[in-house]
């Protein structure tokens, strides 16, 4: 049996379906551009075999383990590592069985589609995962992973990835990117500049990170000017390792454009650990504007990923740490928040700021109107919980009429689940082609214009926006 349907995600009605299929046929095999994500560059540097199926599909995938957790499965039984190094399940086969027994929980979710897509297309599996088939799947996948054609670089090539960006902290030594480059392998793996650890006074290790950045760059990061210079130097170092973008994961979209003396005083306070919550927020906001100004110098695309309320469970944070599925979106306002940055540099068409949201109410009300007029702004694709068929459809339906297609930037997979990358891009291509087909069938887009737009959504916009 086929795990995934041939015509999945296309419109059901005949003519729209035919239009969608025809558009999809033209973009299905285009190379993958993955300009924002969280794959581990070490995979491509060392090119070692992936460990067992559970380590590949369950333990690191927060979409999967959060759903099982929601129905009472303890994270420790899924092998999620503990902060204190305490005991968690290590038997991949047992973890896999727990996953298989609960596979029905994923019905109707994008994870189910990504997993089935991987099982079928990557591993050639033709039976559904369940308690009964658990061991069979486990063995089959484990055997495959032992083969050379399932090593990271082989998969990279098989996935037809033209370029992929990873994300590293500002103080990362980028050793894996260097190793990839030195290896002579031609796969294009870029880094991206993620300075949260040195711009967020509320991050553990803030001052130490900044001191390290001083050592790395030779600038006196105890001063505001030296700190900014150190950013410039680190950005240049990242650009040497392929970076075309920076990324910023703040709790909100606040920006500031303080007089430099005030900014310097705030920085000093932050370094001393004396910031109030509001001052820490203001400092993060100031740094977005500073980053935008540096982007005008060095050309990095600035990405803003705001709006996640992190670590909602104290118990899970204490036992398992960050990124364990307990990050919950909240309301996010953009209009007043972005005004300082935009009034500082927003009319510059040589600047690109890509906005993301976890709050879909902002699409039609704020983000599309903003991106539809400010020259620097572009809209990032449907993100995280909205990286799904419905999420992508809502994104297009709520942004296109005001922002058009050309203020968007194509798809991001934003994932650390390497095997899901082809599946995710495939979903995006199908949903976008279906959206375009619906526009054609309802007279909102000319049939001869649709293929060009489909190509842009799949390839052209990402290539240009991210300067790949």
The two tokens of residue 343 are: 């009034």
In whole angstroms, what is the distance from residue 386 CA to residue 414 CA?
12
In whole angstroms, what is the distance from residue 61 CA to residue 63 CA?
5
Q: What does residue 193 show for φ and ψ, rounded to 5 degrees?
A: -85, 110
What DSSP string describes 266-309? HHHHHHHT---HHHHHHHHHHHHHHHHHHHHHH-PEEEE---EE
Query: Smallest distance, Å, CB 355 to its own copies?
Result: 13
Q: What does residue 377 show for φ and ψ, rounded to 5 degrees?
A: -90, 140
Closest by CA to 140, choosing from 271, 8, 52, is 52
In whole angstroms, what is the distance from residue 389 CA to residue 399 CA?
16
Closest by CA to 119, choosing from 144, 99, 97, is 144
Contact call for residues 425 and 417 (beta carbons, < 8 A):
no
In whole angstroms, what is the distance from residue 227 CA to residue 211 CA?
9
Closest by CA to 51, choosing from 419, 395, 355, is 419
The DSSP symbol for 417 reads -
Is beta strand 308-309 parallel, antiparallel or unpaired with respect to 328-329? antiparallel
Q: H or E element: which one contains 379?
A: strand 377-379
The two tokens of residue 393 are: 């459809």
The DSSP symbol for 408 reads B
The two tokens of residue 154 are: 């082989």
CB contact burial 234-251 (16+ within 10 A = b; e otherwise): bbebbbebbbbbbbbbbb
In whole angstroms, what is the distance from residue 410 CA to residue 420 CA?
17
The two tokens of residue 262 are: 């005030």
Contact call for residues 190 and 165 (beta carbons, < 8 A):
yes
Kindly tell me which of 10 and 227 has the beta carbon lying closer to its own copies. Answer: 10
Q: Is 242 left (phi over 0), alpha (psi -120 to 50) or beta?
A: left
């Amino acid at each position: 049996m086929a795990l995934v349907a041939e015509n999945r995600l296309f419109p059901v009605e005949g003519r729209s379906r035919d239009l969608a299929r025809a558009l999809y046929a033209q973009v299905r095999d285009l190379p993958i551009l993955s300009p924002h994500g969280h794959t581990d560059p070490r995979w491509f540097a060392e090119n070692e075999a992936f460990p067992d199926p559970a380590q590949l599909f369950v333990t690191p995938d927060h979409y999967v383990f959060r759903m099982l957790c929601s129905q009472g499965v303890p994270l420790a039984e899924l092998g999620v590592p503990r902060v204190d190094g305490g005991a968690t399940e290590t038997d991949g086969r047992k973890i896999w069985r727990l996953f298989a027994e609960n596979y029905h929980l994923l019905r109707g979710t994008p994870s189910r589609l990504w997993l089935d897509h991987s099982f079928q297309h990557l591993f050639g599996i033709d039976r559904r995962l369940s308690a009964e088939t658990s061991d069979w799947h486990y063995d089959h996948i484990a055997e495959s992973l032992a083969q050379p054609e399932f090593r990271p670089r082989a998969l990279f090539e098989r996935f037809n990835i033209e370029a992929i960006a990873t994300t590293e902290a500002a103080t990362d030594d980028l050793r894996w990117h260097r190793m990839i480059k030195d290896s002579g392998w031609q796969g294009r793996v870029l880094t991206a500049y993620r300075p949260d650890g040195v711009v967020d006074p509320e991050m553990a290790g803030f001052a130490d990170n900044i001191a390290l950045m001083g050592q790395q760059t030779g600038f006196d990061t105890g001063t505001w000017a030296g700190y900014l210079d150190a950013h410039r130097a680190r950005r240049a170092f990242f650009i040497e390792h392929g970076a075309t973008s920076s990324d910023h994961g703040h709790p909100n979209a606040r920006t500031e454009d303080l007089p430099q003396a005030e900014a310097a005083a705030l920085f000093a306070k932050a370094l001393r650990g004396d910031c109030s919550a509001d001052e820490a927020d203001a400092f993060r906001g100031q740094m977005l504007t500073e980053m935008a100004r540096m982007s005008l110098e060095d050309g990095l695309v600035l990405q803003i990923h705001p709006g996640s309320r992190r670590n909602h469970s104290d118990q899970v944070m204490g036992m398992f740490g960050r990124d364990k599925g307990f990050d919950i979106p909240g309301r996010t306002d953009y209009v007043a928040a972005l005004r300082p940055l935009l009034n500082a540099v927003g009319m510059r068409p040589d600047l690109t700021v890509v906005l993301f949201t976890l709050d879909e109410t902002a699409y039609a009300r704020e983000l599309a109107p903003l991106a539809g007029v400010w020259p620097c702004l572009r809209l990032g694709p449907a993100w995280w919980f909205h990286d799904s068929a419905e999420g992508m459809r809502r994104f297009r339906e709520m942004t296109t009429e005001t922002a058009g297609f050309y203020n968007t930037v194509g798809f991001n997979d934003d994932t650390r689940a390497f095997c899901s990358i082809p599946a995710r891009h495939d979903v995006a291509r199908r949903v976008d082609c279906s959206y375009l087909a619906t526009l054609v069938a309802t007279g909102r887009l000319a049939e001869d214009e649709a293929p060009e737009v489909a190509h842009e959504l799949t390839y052209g916009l990402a290539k240009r926006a991210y300067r790949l």
